[in-house]
Structure 1
């Protein structure tokens, strides 16, 4: 047996949910470019779960189900109040989602119907948890979710306590669509490994959040914003980036293991960053990002991935950077749950082997002779 580091290029399972073929990302066969421009996030959720787009009555029912499930247990809110000050937001989200299972009497029911209901709960409640965590950290009281509005609208409302603008909702909706699924990425694989043991859906999503927390996965967008804050202004971009390049230091938000010709999602967030910047009347963050891209792509041939421009989009929307990765989770839980449901339908325990590189032929020596 010969190991493949990072399982790169290894085909570990079959799936009909999303694909990346010749640099083109599709959900259920629909090109991400088409979905990013035209689809609502709720339509994409339905598509990922059921394999097709809903008709209007089905979409209306999904919206009702999500609205009815969006409130979180009051006991969980009280738990979150006790989280230590300064707790990493993804660590807090991981703990809160794990705790959700304690308040769901059907948590361990494994019927298809029960698991679909739990998928709805998880999709509906993650935005509420993230908004609640943010407000509690700021010393503010949580805001109850609204009924009859989209997930993007509801999240911004619960976060800020005021009705969001149409463009803000459009921007967040597009970001949620773009992040919804991505074939067998690290967090999705973690979720499938967990539920392949026939553990419950909450455990699968908790595992996925743990994987997403890392800076080489979901945490990259937060790292991009840290870099932009360190640079501070457009006139400092070239010196900062050139120093990084000369020292062969990693610049976050560039390159992707799967996309060699560039991440197809990045251009949509770049356009949204530009539009939001111009509407705000301050294009410095966008201009800084464009100049960084020109230098990194020009000198290293690396192109921006989905994380790079999402950082400026979220910042222009007034979202604090510690929420960037949790927002990724709000979107990706749609894909995680789709993959979990698919894993349950045709399950086999995921148990790969390892190439052993340690010592051999060792003999036990009594302790007095060592």
Structure 2
């Protein structure tokens, strides 16, 4: 019996004709957006997001205003429930403990926990890390996926079948589901990776049982490493990555997706699975993979990493679409919201430097620093663009994961196991406020026509 791919190959000419027809009949003139004022990508002309609602969960600040109400670019600031991310990170780091679990509590419930509340919340997460009986064997190992994010989305939807009360959207039930998903995402991601490398890459399969006593970052490193071992600094750095990726306002694509789907009053698993699918895209959660691939390309093609002229020349080739993937993009440089700085990148860079020293990778860290310095001026010279572009969190996160010896396939799932806390917080906010179903408008611009009998069509 022929596979569907075989059928496609055998009819490739036919499908190519259909593709050309679809391309031709779906093309929209970009000038229409300018002439009509339509908000392409729900963006204003200056690139900022169109205001469609209000939130108490997270806030991104990239502009201030002068006396005339004009926007002025400013150093980036990120707030979780009104607490600035820099203050939050420095606070728990000064107390020499991990912060991701505390951030999850803050995002879900709106305030910082006291010592007893945090302890009870950690214990609840720990008890929920183990997947339901038969889940690993039947849902992960029997149907492996070459992409862990697709497997993760499927796993989330499958959780519906293991939930005795999946459709109840009462606050208490959704909070239960949210806590369970936050606890299970790292386990699902780790097991999904093990299944992938075993069945697709013919590597040994090992499945470790989650440890309820460990923090989320410690537990994840425990799950993905054959010997379960990790250093104190490694766990600290991964914890920081989880904290920095947990939330980024309601307007980022995956969180907005979660809110859009939630607004239909569907179940938690449908909303979160949709957000996973959104995050998978290379323009969103998959960006750090592109950064890593770009950096590997630069390392191979620039002989002297300390030669700024040689670096500038190669960066220019990338921007001119003459090198790397020929898109003209410098991955990890620039952000849709932040203007003068991304506070997450600043915090992660500090820890990346510390980890690079432990791993004896200071030379590679210095290469990242050089590109951070040179890329904006090269971009400006070539594109005649005076805007300030700065590194975003993806620029350093891929390097951090590489130093942690985390496989490339897990970069985006790590993002997901962090951001699921923000998704759930926004889902709860959407449910609590019981807003209208989210439904933006599209203006139809095709010329009207009449039905043509089949025999008369060319």
TM-score (structure 2 length as normaliser): 0.77
Counterpart of 1:164 (choices 222, 226, 230) is 230
User: Relative contact order (alpha carbons < 8 A, sep ≥ 6): 1 or 2 greater?
Assistant: 1
| Alpha-carbon offset, residue 192 of structure 1 | 0.7
What is aligned with 1:100? Answer: 159
Q: Write the distance in 1 (CA, Å) between the matches of 2:181 and 2:237.
A: 22
Q: Does 1:329 align with 2:416?
A: yes
Equivalent pair of 2:58/2:81 in contact (CA under 8 Å): yes
CA distance in structure 2 between the partners assigned to 1:35 and 1:182 by the alignment: 15
Native 8 Å contact 2:261 2:271 kept in 1: yes
Aligned positions of 1:201-350 closer than 5 A: 201-232=268-299, 235=303, 238=311, 239-247=313-321, 249-300=328-379, 301-347=388-434, 348-350=436-438
Change in Cα spacing, 1:225 to 1:74, as seen in structure 2 (3 Å) is farther
Q: Shift in Å at residue 242 of structure 1?
A: 2.7
- Unmatched runs of 5 consecutive residues or more in structure 2: 1-35, 44-48, 64-75, 93-98, 198-203, 306-310, 322-326, 380-387
Inter-partner Cα distance in structure 2 for 1:158 and 1:130: 10
Moved more, 184-193 or 95-104: 95-104
1:236 shift after superposition: 5.9
Other structure's SS at 1:311 match = helix
Partners of 2:163 and 2:336 in 1: CA distance = 38
Pick the aligned partner of 1:12 from 44, 52, 75: 52
Distance 1:137 1:287 in 2: 34
In 1, distance between residues paired with 2:402 and 2:194? 17
Q: Secondary structure at the match of 2:79?
A: strand
Choose 132-141 or 142-151, whichever is displaced more: 132-141
For each residue in 1:87-146, what CA deviation from the matched residue of structure 2 results, as whole angstroms up to 9, or x when unmatched?
A: 112112111222122111121111111110000000000001111122233432211110
Task: State how far apart, in whole Å, the 2-side matches of 1:298 and 1:365 are.
Answer: 57
2:356/2:362 contact within 8 Å kept = yes
Specify the SS of the correspondent of 1:265.
Answer: helix
Distance of 2:167 and 2:222 partners within structure 1: 33
Q: Is the aligned partner of 1:351 residue 2:425?
A: no
Counterpart-to-counterpart distance in 2, 1:285 and 1:88: 28
Match of 2:211 in 1: 146
- Farther off after superposition, 307-316 or 293-302: 293-302
What is the CA distance between 1:37 and its match in structure 2? 2.4
- Report the Cα offset of residue 2 of structure 1: 4.5
Deviations 1:48-93 (A, max 9, x none): 11110000111011011101111112432122113356x1121121
Give 1 or 2 for the bigger CA radius of gyration.
2
Deviation at 1:226, TM superposition (A): 1.2
Q: C-alpha root-mean-square deviation of aligned residues, in Å?
A: 1.7
| Deviation (angstroms), 1:232 | 3.2
Deviation string, structure 1 residues 174-194 (Cα, Å, up to 9, x no partner): 111111100120000001111
| Deviations, residues 14-43 of structure 1 (Å, cap 9, x unaligned) | 110011123321111111111222341111
Deviation at 1:267, TM superposition (A): 0.9
CA distance in 2, matches of 1:74, 1:320: 27
Q: Which moved more, 1:120-129 or 1:141-150?
A: 141-150
> What TM-score results when the alignment is normalised by the length of structure 1?
0.95
Question: Structure 1: where are the runs of 5+ without partners?
Answer: none
Q: Whole-Å Cα distance in 2 between the matches of residues 236 and 88 of structure 1? A: 35
Tell me: CA distance 1:369–1:261, structure 2 relative to 1, closer, same or farther (3 Å).
same
CA change 1:276–1:344 in 2 (3 A) is same
2:174 and 2:268 in contact (8 A); partners too: yes
Moved more, 129-138 or 305-314: 129-138
Whether contact under 8 Å (1:285, 1:312) holds in the other structure is: no
> Which residue does 1:173 correspond to in 2?
239
| Moved segments of 4+, more than 4 Å | none
2:316–2:378 contact (8 Å) kept in structure 1? no
